[in-house]
Structure 1
Amino acid sequence: MPDGREVDQAELLGVAKDEERARSLLRALRTLSTGPDPKLREMAGGVLRGDLTAEQAFTDPEYTAALFSGADKIRRAGELRTEAEAREAGERFGAWQEARDTEDEGENQSPDQEPRPTPQPPSGPWRQSGTGGVGGVGGPGGLGASRSPGPFGHR
């Protein structure tokens, strides 16, 4: 596959399990391939070129360490922001997500195809409401959500 083309989402189905997750994984790989972390750029570029499979990338100790390090930085930054910053970030994320979904529908819809239903806000244990929640975005401590310090204080 290293012939200059990019893998498509069908090639990611083995690790992603369904088309929506494969599409999301492909977007994430494209983002990582131009991001600031050299190890993640290397990993994402390798998967996109077909030089290594997603399974190989996600089980390589160096790449998984880089992924977890980046996730930890994001978590810490989220814990340090104010409620106003959290609300603003949630609103920006919602607008970005709507724009992305609209763009995806345009790319993936043939002229004779029925429009896809508009995604509904999540329900269940991950829905954030009341104190600091932003329309159910994220899980416990997710985007815009207040996080209680728990018995041991903030991490």
Structure 2
Amino acid sequence: MDKERQIQDEDLMDVAADPEQAHRLRKALKTLAENPNVGGKLQEMAQEVLSGRIGMKDAIQTPGYMDALGDRMNQIRRAAEDQTQAEREASREQFVAWQKQQEEQEEKERAERDGPTGNIVSSPRRGRGGGHRG
């Protein structure tokens, strides 16, 4: 997948409410596509969308992909239900730390996208100032 074309955030604006949501969606798809623990139809769907071979709207209307997503959500729910109270507390703590790390990363990426680059060097424009006018 490294050499394939990759969609950009803008390519997800048909399903996203705003550019920030499109960015988070693309990031989530990338995580699904690259995580070897995902596998199966869910990973295939993420790879297909990221490569541009299928649009996100089409993916969410594809029964096999939505069944895979539903199955994964059920696995997560069952795993959460089977946790002990101590495991739940540890999971919450891990989630809070992970969420803080994600927010910091998002803030850094947002600053890089939206902020001044600082590295742009431009040469003086010709034709301005006292030159010839005619």
**TM-score of the pair, normalised by structure 1:** 0.66
Matching residue of 2:23: 23
Which residue does 2:92 correspond to in 1? Answer: 90
| 1:102 Cα deviation after fit | 1.0
Query: What residue in structure 2 maps to residue 49 of structure 1?
Result: 51
Q: State the superposition RMSD in angstroms.
A: 1.8
Alpha-carbon shift at residue 112 of structure 1 (Å): 4.6
- Aligned sequence identity (%): 36
Bigger Rg, structure 1 or 2:
2
Specify the alignment match of 1:32 in structure 2: 32
> What is the Cα deviation at residue 51 of structure 1?
0.6
Structure 2 unaligned segments of length 5 or more: list them.
118-134
Taking the aligned partners of 2:93 and 2:21, their CA distance within structure 1 comes to: 23
1:47 and 1:70 map into 2 onto residues whose CA distance is 18
The structure that is helix-richer by fraction is: 2
Task: In structure 1, give the amino acid aligned to 2:58.
Answer: Q
Partner in structure 2 of residue 77 of structure 1: 79
Partner residue in 2 for 1:118: none
Query: How many matched pairs?
Result: 111
Query: Shift of the alpha carbon at 1:34?
Result: 2.3
Bigger drift between 17-26 and 75-84 goes to 17-26
Structure 1 residue runs of 5 or longer lacking an equivalent are: 114-155
For normalisation by structure 2, the TM-score amounts to 0.75
For 1:16 and 1:52, the matched residues in 2 are separated by 16
